[in-house]
C-alpha cells in the first residue's frame, strides 16, 4: 500500500507539471483527489490492512494529499501568471504613439446664455426656482390676475391638454410666471427668485418665432420695494450682460403687474426691446393671502433666445434648434 502511494505521488507530480492550462489542471485535481479519484481508491482499500498498518498508511496518505494540494496551488498560480503575461504582451500599447483625438464638447449657446443670465441674478441675491412644464389653468392664468374670459388671454395662444383630476384644465405653460406663484405658496416673503425654463405657445416657426422657447423670469417681494428698485435691478443686469449701453423703460401693460413697462437697450444704433417688467399687482398678492399693504414687489421676464441672438448676431432662431455642428462649433 505504501508503494502504491509513492507511485501515485510520482505520477501526480509529473501530471501536475505537464498541465498546460487551469482547465487541464482542474481535471487532474479531480482524478487525483476527487471522491472517485485515485487517492480515494487507495484509501478505500485500507479496510483490508491489519490494525498496525492502517495508521502508517493513513499518515502517508494525508501527507500525500497535502503535498498534491500544494503542488496544484503552485502550478495554478504559475499558469495564471503565464496567461496574464501572454495577455499583456498581446495587448501591449505603444505609449509613444499619438492617441486618438476626442473632440472636446462645449455648452450649447442657449444653455450658456441661460446659465449666464441666472448667474448674474444669483450675484444679485436671487435663488433659482423651477416648476412643471405642464400646468393648470389656475397657475398659468387665474392666479396671475387673468381670469376666464379676460381679454389678456387672447394675447397668448395656448396648447391645451386633457383635463386632469377634479376637472382642472391642463396646458403647456405659456410663461414661467406660474413658478413664482408656486414659490410664493410655499415660501412666505421676503423672496427673491429667478425662474428659468421652457415655455410653449401656438406660434408658427419662422425666423423670430418658435412654438417652444426659453424664458427667465424674476420676482422680488419685500417691504418697501418700489419702481426705483425694479429699474435699478433691471439696468444693472442689462449692463452686466450687454455692456454699458443706454437703457430705457416704456409704459406697457401686463395683467399681473401695475405699473408695467417694456425695456429697450440701445444696440448697434437702434433701440431693441429685450424685457418686460412691472410692479406686482396687489390683486395677485391678495389672491395668495399676502398683505399687499405690507409687502410689495416687482417682476421681470425675458426670452433667452432673444438675448442669445442679440449677443451672437444670429438672424434666425431656427439655427438654434437644427443641431448643425457647422453652426454650433462657432460658439
233 shares a domain with 86 = no
Judge if 290 and 322 occupy the same domain. yes
Model confidence, pTM:
0.67
Whether residues 85 and 116 share a domain: the answer is no
Predicted pLDDT at 112: 94
Mean pLDDT, the chain, integer: 85
Average pLDDT on 148-166 reads 73
Asked if the structure places residue 216 within a domain, the reply is: yes
Q: Which domain holds residue 166?
A: 109-328
**Which pLDDT belongs to residue 152?**
62
233 and 147 in a single domain? The answer is: yes
Q: Which grid coordinates are listed for 100?
A: 486618438
Q: Is there a contact between 174 and 200 (Cβ–Cβ < 8 Å)? A: yes
* CB distance 120 to 158 below 8 Å: no
- Per residue in 12-36, pLDDT tens? 777 777 788 888 878 877 777 776 7
Instruction: Examine the pLDDT at 250 and tell me if it is beyond 80.
Output: yes
Tell me: do 196 and 79 sit in the same domain: no
Q: Average pLDDT in the 236-258 region?
A: 92
- Which CATH number belongs to the domain containing residue 262 in this structure? 3.30.930.10
Compute the radius of gyration of the chain from its Cα atoms.
40
Is the model's pLDDT at 118 over the cut of 70? Answer: yes
SS3 61: helix
* % of the chain with per-residue pLDDT over 70: 86
The verdict on 20 and 119 lying in the same domain is no
Look up residue 3 and give its three cell numbers.
508503494
What is the mean pLDDT of the segment spanning 184-196? Answer: 94
Last residue of a domain, one of 36, 63, 90: 90
From the list 111, 319, 329, 331, the residue with the least C-alpha distance to 214 is 111
Instruction: For residues 82 and 118, give the distance between their C-alpha atoms in angstroms, rounded to a whole number.
Output: 59
Q: What is the SS3 assignment for 313?
A: coil
| pLDDT value at residue 322 | 86
Asked if pLDDT for residue 101 goes beyond 80, the answer is yes
Alpha helices, DSSP H only, in 124-206? 137-140, 177-186
Both 274 and 180 in one domain: the answer is: yes
Instruction: Tell me which DSSP letter residue 97 carries.
Output: S
In the structure, what pLDDT confidence band is assigned to residue 117 with cuts at 50, 70 and 90? very high
**Alpha-carbon distance 280 to 221, whole Å?**
9
Query: In degrees to the nearest 10, what's the CA dihedral of 79, 84, 90, 96?
Result: -150
Q: Are residues 190 and 237 in the same domain?
A: yes
Residue scoring higher pLDDT (211 or 41): 211
Q: What total number of domains does the chain contain?
A: 2
3-class secondary structure, 172: strand
In a domain, 104, yes or no: no
Last residue of a domain, one of 55, 90, 125: 90
> What letter does residue 187 receive in the DSSP assignment?
S
Our CA dihedral for 296, 302, 304, 305, rounded to 10 degrees, sits at 170
**pLDDT value at 47 more than 70:** no
C-alpha dihedral sign at 65, 71, 76, 79 = negative
Instruction: Flag the least confident range among 123-127, 147-151, 172-176, 188-192.
Output: 147-151
Q: Would 102 be classed as within a structural domain?
A: no
Instruction: For Cα atoms 68, 72, 78, give the angle at the middle one, nearest 5 degrees.
Output: 145
Q: What are phi and psi of 19, to 5 degrees?
A: -60, 130
129 and 7 belong to one structural domain? no
Amino acid at each position: 500500500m505504501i508503494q502504491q502511494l509513492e507511485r501515485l505521488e510520482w505520477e501526480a507530480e509529473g501530471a501536475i507539471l505537464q498541465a498546460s492550462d487551469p482547465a487541464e489542471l482542474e481535471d487532474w485535481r479531480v482524478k487525483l483527489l476527487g471522491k472517485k479519484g485515485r487517492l480515494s481508491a487507495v484509501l478505500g482499500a485500507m479496510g483490508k490492512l491489519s490494525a498496525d498498518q492502517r495508521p502508517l498508511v493513513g499518515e502517508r496518505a494525508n501527507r500525500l494529499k497535502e503535498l498534491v494540494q500544494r503542488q496544484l496551488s503552485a502550478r495554478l498560480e504559475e499558469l495564471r501568471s503565464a496567461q496574464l503575461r501572454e495577455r499583456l504582451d498581446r495587448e501591449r500599447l505603444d505609449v509613444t504613439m499619438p492617441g486618438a483625438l476626442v473632440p472636446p464638447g462645449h455648452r450649447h449657446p442657449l444653455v450658456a446664455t441661460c446659465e449666464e443670465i441666472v448667474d448674474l441674478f444669483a450675484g444679485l441675491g436671487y435663488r433659482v426656482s423651477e416648476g412643471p412644464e405642464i400646468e393648470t389653468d389656475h397657475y398659468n392664468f387665474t392666479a396671475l390676475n387673468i381670469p376666464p374670459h379676460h381679454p389678456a388671454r387672447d394675447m397668448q395662444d395656448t396648447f391645451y391638454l386633457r383635463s386632469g383630476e377634479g376637472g382642472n384644465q391642463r396646458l403647456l405653460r405659456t410663461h414661467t410666471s406660474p413658478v413664482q406663484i408656486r414659490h410664493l405658496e410655499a415660501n412666505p416673503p421676503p423672496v427673491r427668485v429667478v425662474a428659468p425654463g421652457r415655455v410653449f405657445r401656438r406660434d408658427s416657426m419662422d425666423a423670430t418665432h418658435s412654438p417652444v422657447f426659453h424664458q427667465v423670469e424674476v420676482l422680488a417681494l419685500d417691504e418697501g420695494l418700489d419702481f426705483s428698485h425694479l429699474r435699478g435691478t433691471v439696468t444693472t443686469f442689462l449692463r452686466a450682460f450687454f455692456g454699458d449701453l443706454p437703457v430705457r423703460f416704456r409704459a406697457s401693460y401686463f395683467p399681473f403687474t401695475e405699473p408695467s413697462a417694456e425695456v429697450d437697450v440701445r444696440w448697434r444704433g437702434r433701440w431693441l426691446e429685450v424685457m418686460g417688467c412691472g410692479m406686482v399687482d396687489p390683486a395677485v398678492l391678495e389672491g395668495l393671502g399676502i398683505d399687499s399693504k405690507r409687502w410689495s414687489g416687482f417682476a421681470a421676464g425675458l426670452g433667452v433666445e432673444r438675448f442669445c441672438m442679440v449677443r451672437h448676431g444670429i438672424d434666425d432662431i431656427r439655427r438654434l434648434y437644427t443641431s448643425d455642428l457647422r453652426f454650433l462649433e462657432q460658439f
